[in-house]
Amino acid sequence: MSEQFSAPELKEGFKAVLTVKSFVASEDLISRLSPTFGLLNFPRTAHLIHLGAIGSDDILLPSAPALSPGCTVVITEKVDGANMAFSLSSGRQLLVQNRSQFVNSSSHSQFKKLDFGWRDIARNYLGY
């Protein structure tokens, strides 16, 4: 492998080049460089029309925005009705969040199916 890999050099524009010689050292480096963050805030989604299910805290646009030629329109929908996010902690733990709390299959019955594949899918996607 070392014959195929050429190490990066500072003259290539890097601010630093670190050589990690063990898995333990790589974990230490990850924990030092990984930002610690808490819960992610989901953006509030405005509704274009009222179909009868808008709550008092939802945003309803007074009128549809005017679209200019060539603009891009993105339409989104919640898959299961729950705002959910997957992330990795600096300690390589898979975190699952719903709105303003971390959840797991044993603490919330709504998320029992997390044990049946979703966590594995998220692990693969996040490279865990």
Using one digit for the tens of pLDDT, what is the confidence trace for 5-54? Answer: 788 889 998 888 888 889 888 888 888 887 776 776 666 778 888 878 78
At 122, the pLDDT band (50, 70, 90 cuts) reads: low
Query: Domain locations in the chain?
Result: 10-126
Of 100, 45, 97, the closest CA to residue 74 belongs to 45
C-alpha–C-alpha distance, residues 55 and 74, integer Å: 23
Is the whole model's pTM more than 0.95, yes or no? Answer: no
Is the model more confident about 15 or about 95? 15
Contact 83, 42 (CB under 8 A): yes
Q: What is the DSSP string of 55-108?
A: -TTSEE-SSPPPPPTT--------SSSS-EEEEE-TTS-EEEEETTEE--TTT-
At 96, the pLDDT band (50, 70, 90 cuts) reads: confident
C-beta neighbour count of 113 within 10 angstroms: 11
Over residues 69-97, the mean pLDDT reads 70
